[in-house]
Amino acid sequence: MTETTFRSMVELQLTETESFLRVLHVDDDDCFLKVSKQILEMEGKIKVETAISVYEALENLKLFQYDVVVSDYEMPGKNGLQFLEELKKIPNNPPFILFTGKGREEVAAKALNLGAFKYLNKYGDPETVYTELTSSIQQAADSAKARKTASIKVKHSSTQSLKRQVTPLSY
Q: Which residues of 135-147 are buried (b: 16+ CB within 10 A; e: fewer)?
A: ebbeebbeebeee
155 is a domain residue:
yes
81 is a domain residue:
yes
User: Taking 50 as the threshold, does the pLDDT of residue 47 lie above it?
Assistant: yes
CATH code for the domain in which residue 8 is found: 3.40.50.2300
Residue 148: predicted pLDDT: 74
170 is a domain residue:
no
141 is a domain residue:
yes
pLDDT digits (tens, 9 = 90+) for 103-155: 788 899 999 999 999 999 999 999 999 999 999 999 999 998 887 777 565 55
pTM greater than 0.75 (yes/no): yes
Q: What are phi and psi of 71, to 5 degrees?
A: -140, 145
171 is a domain residue:
no
Q: 9: closest CA among 53, 58, 63, 62?
A: 63
102 is a domain residue:
yes
72 is a domain residue:
yes
Count of structural domains within the chain: 1
Judge contact between 86 and 78, C-beta under 8 A: yes
Average pLDDT score, the chain: 84
Residue ranges making up the domain that contains 7: 3-165
Task: Categorize the per-residue pLDDT at 44 as very low, low, confident or very high, splitting at 50, 70 and 90.
Answer: confident
15 is a domain residue:
yes
**Cα–Cα distances in Å, from 90 out to 10, 39, 57, 145, 165?**
23, 29, 12, 17, 34
Judge contact between 91 and 46, C-beta under 8 A: no
